[in-house]
Structure 1
Amino acid sequence: MVLITISHGLFHLSLPFDPAWIAGITSWLAALLLFNNASRILQVQVGILLTIGLILIFYAASQGAEINFLNVISSNSGLLSMIAAVGFLRLVAISDADKEARLPVGRRSYLHTLLGANLLSTIINISAPMLIADRIHQQKPLQRFTSQSLTRVFCGCASWSPFFGAMAVVLTYVSQAKLLWIVFAGLPFTIIGLVVVYAEARIRYPEEVDNFVGYPIHLNSLKIPFVLVVSVILGFWLLPGTPVLVV
């Protein structure tokens, strides 16, 4: 699904049929195969939404509306492909040096952990705070203060990261939405959020900050986030006719 969606978006493949059919069918097959792995509550939610969608499609058809079945099964292929592709980044985003390094302690460690969690979360999303929290927990039981800080920093990434599912949803469903405008508008709020989280922690939780066991972020581990962000921006400029989800 991922390869077909990207190839079709980049090269506009000339085939006897629209490749979007393959992307759509494979995505639905994946959903059927993985449905039993989802939690019970998620299965109920999916069932309700699917039922409502089918009822509305049949109602629209009964009123004489023309149903585009290709859009019905493949309209979210780009969104799903992006989310699936981003999932692979967790395999390479955190280096072995970070995993084996001794965890630092103190105020600077807290600040570095906030910055590192934010940068890594922009690329591998929810996997970043989970991996960082697990690494910290190996040396010291995870405190509420630590999980709270990581969660708040992570939430700020959704306002600007081009690799977040939220960004894919906006670009898919909001008419004439522009990636760069969203990034430039959302990034300042992320920076403000980081400042607020750090300042509040220094004021309300000075003891926790002074004794904070942080996560060692090295420059080497930030290469992948930096390269990917720059690549997306350059690709967006160099390939103006290509959908941003493909880039």
Structure 2
Amino acid sequence: MPAQDARNAHPASPTPRQVIAGVAILAGLIWQILLFTGADVTSLPVGYLLWFSVLLLWRDIPTRSRYQAGALIALGAGMLVAARLGYGAEVAWAWTLDGNTYVVAMLVGVSFISLIGTQSPGRSGTRLTGWHGILSTWFSVHLLGAILNLSTIFMVGDRLRSLGASRDGTPASLSEPQILALNRGLSSAAFWSPFFASMGVVMSLAPQMNFLWILALGIPLGALSGLLTCLELQRRFDLAATPGFAMSPANLLMPVAMASLVMLFHYGLTPGLSIVSIITFLLPAAALASNLPQGLRWTRRRIVEHTRRRLPSMRGEISLFLAAGLFTQGLSTLIAAVTGGEWVLFAHFGAPQAVASYAVIVASAIVGLHPIIGVSTLASMLDLEGSRYTLLAFVALASWGVGTAVGPLSGINLSLQGRYGVSGYRTMRLNAPYAAVMSLAVVAGIVLLDRLLA
């Protein structure tokens, strides 16, 4: 067995530090779920547990993500200190680590979906080539990724490599059309999926948003992404020998079932809970329910392995979201202190302001900033009411969907670069026409939504 295969077959055991961090993350999730029961407990431990895990895992965070998170932490803490010392602002120091813990708990909860079955696309899908293959690959990544998030990239990408393997079994390199189908299939799920990190952030920043309006515009944007990907790549590349991946009907069951359960709880069983809250407890509960028939020992082993390995591996996203939460708290506190709470970025948040905000967030993604930074900064500078929250939510999700596709340092593109050796900047250039067309559609959606909400 080659050395690389041997390492993959027998991955290194996590260190005690990583195991403790995984336990802290799991404890934070459990405490957050406890809050949903109405128990008379404070939410403070959630933030402390999650930040403690970041401290333990700090040295393991990829360098680029560590620099970005470190800068956000320093800026956020600095602005809180400046607001207190320079302007006498009241700062609830005990709660400064609470920002975005809601979202992080949801991300941790979503990770448990990997314990439902094998979560492998399998080999039952039909092999396709040409534009059929590209469209099928996009659709497979889009639908599975709407539930499983970033892990879908590796599941489908590795399967595509095996489809093109040489006779001696050496995996093929992914072609540019395949890379773009993976990139756009996943990033476009941010337009509408309630399971995506983008939706969790948006629901925490714009809790009064109308989710049905977001679905009404987000799903067509996602469909446009697939159609555009198919038409554009067929025109730009020779796809005759490009393998694609198609899901089998069995693979459709889990995404449809999970989405249906979320809607059932939200509109029927627990209407008082937000979708973020429902996802946070529902997916771990579904994972437990699917494993318990195999016995308590089997279930315990899978949860322990998930806690020891999978949860610490989320260090990059956990650190970035927590750091962005601290940055947002610092910025909003400093602005309120300097202006006496009277200043806002826009007196009215309508279509022109929304378009300008979208353009700035996508531009910042292109130069290397994660969209969460632009989205959080924008929300901290607005004072909205009523239907304007829905417009803000649409802008945030649209800028996330396009920004992560085209941004060379987004999590999606960094993952593709690390796993398959593609250039993030090459992907950015190839995605430029796609981003331009999608942006025109987003602008049209902003104008339409602004009129419908008026």
**Superposed pair shares fold, TM > 0.5:** yes
Correspondence for 2:244 among 198, 214, 229: 214
Q: Partner residue of 1:242? A: 273
Q: Distance in 1 between matches of 2:71 and 2:184?
A: 31
Is the 1:23–1:77 Cα contact (8 Å) retained in structure 2? yes
Deviations 1:205-238 (A, max 9, x none): 3x31x32312241111111111111222222223
In structure 2, relative to structure 1, the CA distance for the partners of 1:132 and 1:7 (3 Å cut) is same
Report the CA distance between 1:103 and its aligned residue. Answer: 5.7
Correspondence for 1:8 among 19, 22, 35: 35
Q: TM-score, normalised by structure 1?
A: 0.88
Following superposition of structure 1 onto structure 2, how do residues 124-163 of structure 1 map, counting pairs within 5 Å?
124-140=148-164, 141=172, 142-163=174-195
Report the CA distance between 1:203 and its aligned residue. Answer: 3.2
Aligned residues: 240
1:39 lines up with 2:71 in the alignment: no
Q: Partner residue of 1:199? A: 231
Q: Partner residue of 1:49? A: 72
Q: Partner residue of 2:312? A: none
Q: Distance in 2 between matches of 1:93 and 1:171?
A: 29
Q: Partner residue of 1:166? A: 198
Q: Distance in 1 between matches of 2:123 and 2:194?
A: 30
1:88 lines up with 2:120 in the alignment: no
RMSD: 2.1
In structure 2, relative to structure 1, the CA distance for the partners of 1:139 and 1:48 (3 Å cut) is same
Moved over 6 A (4+): none
Report the CA distance between 1:243 and its aligned residue. Answer: 3.0
Q: Distance in 2 between matches of 1:243 and 1:95?
A: 26
Q: Partner residue of 1:60? A: 83
Q: TM-score, normalised by structure 2?
A: 0.50
Is the 1:160–1:183 Cα contact (8 Å) retained in structure 2? yes
Query: Could you tell which deviates more after superposition, 152-161 or 174-183?
Result: 174-183
Q: Distance in 1 between matches of 2:195 and 2:46?
A: 20
Q: Distance in 2 between matches of 1:171 and 1:6?
A: 17
In structure 2, runs of 5+ residues without a counterpart are: 1-27, 165-171, 279-454
In structure 2, relative to structure 1, the CA distance for the partners of 1:36 and 1:200 (3 Å cut) is same
In structure 2, relative to structure 1, the CA distance for the partners of 1:69 and 1:179 (3 Å cut) is farther
1:116 lines up with 2:140 in the alignment: yes
- Percent of aligned pairs with the same residue? 23
Q: Distance in 1 between matches of 2:88 and 2:145?
A: 46
Is the 2:126–2:248 Cα contact (8 Å) retained in structure 1? no
In structure 1, runs of 5+ residues without a counterpart are: none
